[in-house]
Amino acid sequence: MAVLEKPFFTQGNLLKNPVALITGANTGIGRHTALKLAKKGYKVFLACRSWDKTQPVLEEINQLEKVKPAEFLELDLADQASIRRCALSFLARQLPLHLLINNAGQAGAKGLTADGFEVAFGVNHLGHFLLTQLLLERLESSAPSRVITVASRAHHFSWGLHWAHLRESTRSFTGIREYANSKLANILFSQHLALMLKDSGVSCYALHPGLVATEIWRHVPRFLQPLLKWRGMLSEEEGAQCTLYCALDAPASESGLYYAKSKIHQPSRLAQSEKMALLLWQKSLEWVNESSRFAKNQD
């Protein structure tokens, strides 16, 4: 008879101080994820742009019974300097890191990041890529640990990554095409990260949370917003369920896969391309100008 793997949280119960860092945790599914993990015994770090918008969530968590104090980390994923400061701030605390949840996202916004990348790609993929790189050693030393990246089924609408366009301002009127490209990048990143971390004790998961009524859609043109609601949107709490499944229950043997409705789903053909995943990894390393112990394996 096959031996079933224990859920990750069962292992997490044995950890002295389980710690989770969640980007964009002051609203939407990030907030519900932070609340649930705090109730499960995790010390949660909310990595967000605004202290004012994060403070009510910190208070909400810290008023719960028998929880470890939640903390704020300032993070602007559109600014690589801010990302580096955030990582240094966390690492300076000398804590382990068992869950890194790349949750924050932009949809429908237009323009460039502070470092000159199309804003959806820069925030949704490149910002999280850099943050993960900076925290990799801590994740490995804290194993068993996990990296969960919130992607989207919108990646099916991507026609591929045109590298030159990623260094230009948003081209489409709605920004949805660029959003789809960034979500394709999320899945390719998670897939390749799992390959690089094989046998390290760090598992990686990408997921589609469902079409969730969150602030991520605030930049989408107003005439499209009723259409989104007509398609049927999940509540924020419902949208957090797949993230929580990947964080607490998904088997480590399923590292590198893509999930929806808390089950394995097959992503698009492009999202399964190992060649594109490798090229994206190489270019992302170049773009963040960050040395990596994996770089020598990319030649």
Find the CATH number of the domain harbouring 163. Answer: 3.40.50.720
Q: Is residue 2 part of a domain?
A: no
Mean pLDDT of the chain: 88
Tell me what pLDDT residue 133 has.
96
Q: Locate 41 and state its tokens.
A: 């015994």
Q: Is residue 234 part of a domain?
A: yes
- Check 179, 205, 245, 258 and give the catalytic one: 179
Tell me what pLDDT residue 70 has.
98
Tell me what pLDDT residue 293 has.
43
Alpha-carbon distances of 239 from 27, 83, 103, 143, rounded to whole Å: 12, 26, 12, 27
Tell me what pLDDT residue 107 has.
84
Look up residue 234 and give its DSSP letter. B
Q: Is residue 31 part of a domain?
A: yes
Does the pLDDT value for residue 286 go beyond 50?
Answer: yes
pLDDT in tens, 111-165: 999 999 999 999 999 999 999 999 999 999 999 999 999 999 999 999 999 999 9
Tokens 């394995």 locate to 264
Q: Is 179 among the residues known to form the active site?
A: yes
Q: How many domains does the chain have?
A: 1
Does the pLDDT value for residue 200 go beyond 90?
Answer: yes
pLDDT band at 35 (very low <50, low <70, confident <90, very high): very high
Please tell me which residue, 231 or 71, carries the higher pLDDT value. Answer: 71
User: Do 63 and 271 contact (CB within 8 A), yes or no?
Assistant: no
pLDDT band at 4 (very low <50, low <70, confident <90, very high): very low
Q: Is residue 1 part of a domain?
A: no
pLDDT band at 256 (very low <50, low <70, confident <90, very high): very high
Indicate whether this model's pTM tops 0.95: no
Tell me what pLDDT residue 3 has.
37
The one-letter amino acid code at 175 reads G
Tell me what pLDDT residue 232 has.
54
Q: Is residue 226 part of a domain?
A: yes
pLDDT band at 20 (very low <50, low <70, confident <90, very high): very high
Tell me what pLDDT residue 227 has.
45
Q: Is residue 230 part of a domain?
A: yes
User: Do 257 and 144 contact (CB within 8 A), yes or no?
Assistant: no
CA distance 156 to 285: 25
Tell me what pLDDT residue 148 has.
98
pLDDT in tens, 215-253: 544 545 554 444 444 455 668 888 899 999 999 999 999
CA distance 104 to 30: 7
Tell me what pLDDT residue 9 has.
53
Least confident of 92-106, 155-169, 281-295: 281-295
| Full domain range(s) for residue 159 | 8-288
Q: Is residue 295 part of a domain?
A: no
Alpha-carbon distances of 60 from 161, 226, 240, rounded to whole Å: 40, 31, 17
Q: Is residue 298 part of a domain?
A: no
Least confident of 176-180, 213-217, 281-285: 213-217
Tell me what pLDDT residue 230 has.
43
